[in-house]
A and B are shown apart, each in its own frame.
Chain A
Amino acid sequence: MRKVWVMSVTFAMLILLISGCSSNGQTKKQGEAKKEITVRMMADPDYLDPHKATASLTFQMLLNVYEGLMKPTPNGGVEPAVAESDKISKDGLTYTFKLRKGIKFHDGNPVTVDDVKYSFDRLTGQSGGAPLSDLSQIIKSVKTPDQETIVISLKKAYSPFLSQLTAMNAAILEKSNDSKQNTHPIGTGPFKFVEYKPQNKLVLEKFADYWDEDLPYLNKVTFSYQPDDDAASLSVKSGNLDLSGVTANKVDEVKTNNNIIEQNNNAVFLMGFNNDKKPFNDERVRQAISYVVNKDDVIDAAFSGHGSKLGSNMSPAMGKYFNKDLVDYYQPNIKKAKALLKEAGYGNGFSMTITVSSHNKVYSEAAQVIAEELKEVGIDAKINVIEWAKWLDDVYKKKNYEATIIDFTGTISPFEMLSRYQTNDPSNMMNFSDSQFDSLMKQAMKENDDDQRASLYKQAQKVLTEKAPAVFICDYQTEWALNKQFTGFKQYPIYYLDMAHIKPAN
């Protein structure tokens, strides 16, 4: 009998030890005045140097540190940041900016026109290095006639230019910090960089000399690395994370202490075809598949119902540029699909492969639903799940695939969102080519009138819907859980967690 006793005591002690230690680690955060916030970081930034960084998750954090001449606004436009004002010449070739008075870098040095010129030269490769941005193909020269004026001349009229001047595309950096931009980032944003530990945390601190004196409200922002969704929702529940995206099925669990904010991501989740490959080079086949796929089913399976259906490569988050008439262009219609397939010579169906990446399970979940639905018209779809690096190599770069499921993250520029469907665009991974689409895009690039431009973009979206280079499925939503002790969450049509406007609830 004694050994049983000893065993139970050992076990009981072990449990006590675990519980004792863990609760110890947890309670320490409570009771502090909430001027500091902990935000989930889903993935490490690719670079801290904004001229090298590309990942939207990087800018989600770093747009708090860096600013361009312009900065994004919640409605998808831009407003002056490092610049105080802007003037565009009639021919659309010359942009004149006035530098904001008294603006400073995080190290206390004033921002000069030289710093602005340096930043553009660095991006376009004018300062000796190779170009880091396709702005090099647009910008002809950057001149600084006096200590507060910057004049940018373009090679050709490029209407989306202003929207390219936020920190995402053209952050203003300090010239004297050139070699250290990636290790010791210095910007002009409302928060300054403190430290970054890979796979652990990125810490920002209030910049007291920020040009907008009312901002920011918080003293400190810690982005805490948490790649796993389930672990993140546990951390939200226990109060270790104050702001985090949570999966739809966890919303109820975290609701008591958190406000839930639903946000459209301005992303385009789609099944793209290799438009060069048989049988997908026949638009009737692509249209037929568009008639088969039930977008609601896919949204339910992959995003627990949290997504807005799309009809083209543009999300409703883009406001006046979004063509809302296209959403229900392809209603599920098996009869029509069969007829189209028969017309194209595939009356008995065919077999195909959907290649998806494994780094996020939404792709394979969507693929399973679609493959099941395609059986109804005799199409036998196999699903090939591969690693992200292999996907980028095989599918994206070498275009060695038949169909794939992916999402493109949005920008504030409608032109950028549509540009990958132009015939010669380097990121045209679907090998789509349509002369009408190309000419609409060319017109839009030259058009100075915003309303005219919006109408051209809408026509371009319609071409995409009709020609169906992809099945445009949805813009998925993120459910943000924000600790009830905070308020002031602002939604943007890009990946940007604007921490400057977050403030304590009381």
Chain B
Amino acid sequence: MLAYIIRRLGLLILTLVFISIITFLVFQILPGDPVQTMLGPDADPIRIKTLRHQLGLDQPLYIQYGHLIEGFIRGDLGQSIRFSMPVRDLIFDRLPLTLSLAFMSLIIVIFVSIPLGVIAARRENSWGDLLLSIFTQFGMAIPSFFMGMILILLFGSVFSLFSPGSYVPWSEDFWGALGSLLLPALTIAIPQIAVSYRYVRNGVIEQGQMDYVRTARGKGASEWKTLSHHILRNSLIPVLTILGLILAEVVAGTIVVEQVFSLPGIGQLLITSVSYRDFPVVQGLVLYIAFVIVVINFLVDILYSVLDPRIRLK
């Protein structure tokens, strides 16, 4: 187990270094100057020159990169060019929103897709099952930004139940925050529900035909107990792999959905920072996202062994 964790940790560091270098290289190719982009065409050239110098932007990019990496090692993520504040503060300010959005999406996915999958599997090939398959097929096919716009139109314009961009933090108004995050979370969740639902359904059908299920029934176990103790547990292993992937998708989904719903989260920060050529912020965010994905994969691996003791971490 320890060796496994150490190996994973090594892999994590290697991944982060690799990703950081790629980001750096991409920024070398991108045209555009952060200060000019921020101040626009009406800017006084004298001011641009002075600000570039103050920010150290007149140095070659590899030196700026060097400073940044040096800072990372000391645990300092550097200073945002666009917002003139520490990258750390910018990211931490936005984490609660993005994490709760991702978490809510995941909860919705789990609590909708697993019951739906089980129900569909128990009534295999009935017209309800068929209908669900068609719906989920649609759910997977519709891009999330489009889904988001439809939901805003429906709940914002037609029913007037929801006003996009009126996000309030959890600390200020719990129900307000929940209300402003529910639609975005649903937007992210719908395509993932479809994916997860199919795995649950197929898993339950497949496991239901196994010998051990017949044995369990033969022993006189109730239908509920057979389902919950035997079938579900075994059919959830492939689902868990998928949930790991889904969580990664959810993290990526927040980037798009935050744009559509004008939510001040990590995703919106990332898009803004790229368009303003705010290298320190982009570097910090890309590393954060990579870190989250690697950690999720790690957790999924550990969960495997919990669900199925036969799987050992080597």
Residues of A within 8 A of B (CB): 3-4, 6-7, 10, 14, 17-19, 21-26, 28, 44, 46-48, 52-56, 125, 129-134, 136, 182-183, 197-200, 224-228, 230-232, 234-235, 237-238, 240, 359, 387-390, 392-394, 396-397, 406, 408-409, 426-427, 429
Contact = CB atoms under 8 A, between A and B. Distances in A.
B276 A389 contact: yes
Contacts of B210: none
Given A4-B128, A131-B50, A225-B165, 20 more contacts: A3-B119, A3-B120, A3-B123, A10-B115, A18-B161, A19-B159, A25-B175, A25-B176, A47-B84, A54-B39, A55-B38, A130-B50, A130-B54, A132-B47, A132-B50, A228-B262, A234-B165, A235-B164, A238-B160, A390-B32
A23 B180 CA distance: 10
Interface in B139-194: 152, 155-157, 159-168, 173, 175-180, 182-183, 186
26 contacts: A4-B128, A7-B116, A7-B132, A18-B183, A24-B176, A24-B179, A25-B163, A25-B166, A44-B83, A46-B38, A46-B82, A48-B84, A182-B84, A198-B90, A198-B264, A200-B167, A226-B165, A231-B262, A234-B156, A234-B163, A240-B166, A359-B275, A389-B33, A392-B33, A393-B33, A396-B36
B46 interface: yes
A392 B155 contact: no
A416 B46 CA distance: 15
Contacts of B186: 14, 18
Contacts of B83: 44, 198
A393 B36 contact: yes
Contacts of A133: 44, 46-47
Interface residues of B, number: 69
B264 A392 contact: no
A18 B275 contact: no
Interface string B36-61: 11111111111101110110000000
B202 interface: no
A10 B132 CA distance: 14
A389 B31 contact: yes
B49 A54 contact: no
A136 B50 CA distance: 13
A197 B264 contact: yes
Contacts of A182: 84
B154 to A, nearest CB: 10
Given A198-B85, A392-B41, A406-B41, A232 B163 contact: no
Given A235-B165, A240-B166, A392-B32, A22 B182 contact: yes
A14 B33 CA distance: 47
- Highest count of chain B CB atoms <10 Å: which of A19, A54, A427: A54
Contact of B165 (A22, A125, A228, A388): A228
B160 A231 contact: no
Contact of A55 (B40, B49, B159): B40
Given A131-B46, A132-B47, A390-B31, A240 B163 contact: yes
Interface of B: 30-33, 36-47, 49-51, 53-54, 82-85, 90, 93, 112, 115-116, 119-120, 123, 126, 128, 132, 152, 155-157, 159-168, 173, 175-180, 182-183, 186, 261-262, 264, 268-269, 272, 275-277
Contact of A392 (B37, B165, B177): B37
B153 to A, nearest CB: 9
Main secondary structure of the interface of B (DSSP, over half): helix
B145 to A, nearest CB: 12
Contacts of A56: 42
A389 to B, nearest CB: 3
Contacts of A17: 182
B237 to A, nearest CB: 25
- Highest count of chain A CB atoms <10 Å: which of B115, B116, B175, B180: B175
Given A18-B183, A136-B46, A387 B32 contact: yes
B92 to A, nearest CB: 12
Q: Across the A-B interface, give the 9 residue pairs with the lowest CB-CB distance, nearest first.
A: A389-B32, A21-B179, A25-B176, A25-B179, A54-B39, A130-B50, A22-B179, A22-B162, A389-B37
B36 A397 contact: yes
Contacts of B262: 225-228, 231
Given A131-B46, A392-B37, A231 B183 contact: no
Nearest to A19: B161
Contacts of A232: 165
B172 to A, nearest CB: 10
Contact of B39 (A3, A10, A19, A46): A46
Contacts of B277: 389
Contacts of B43: 54
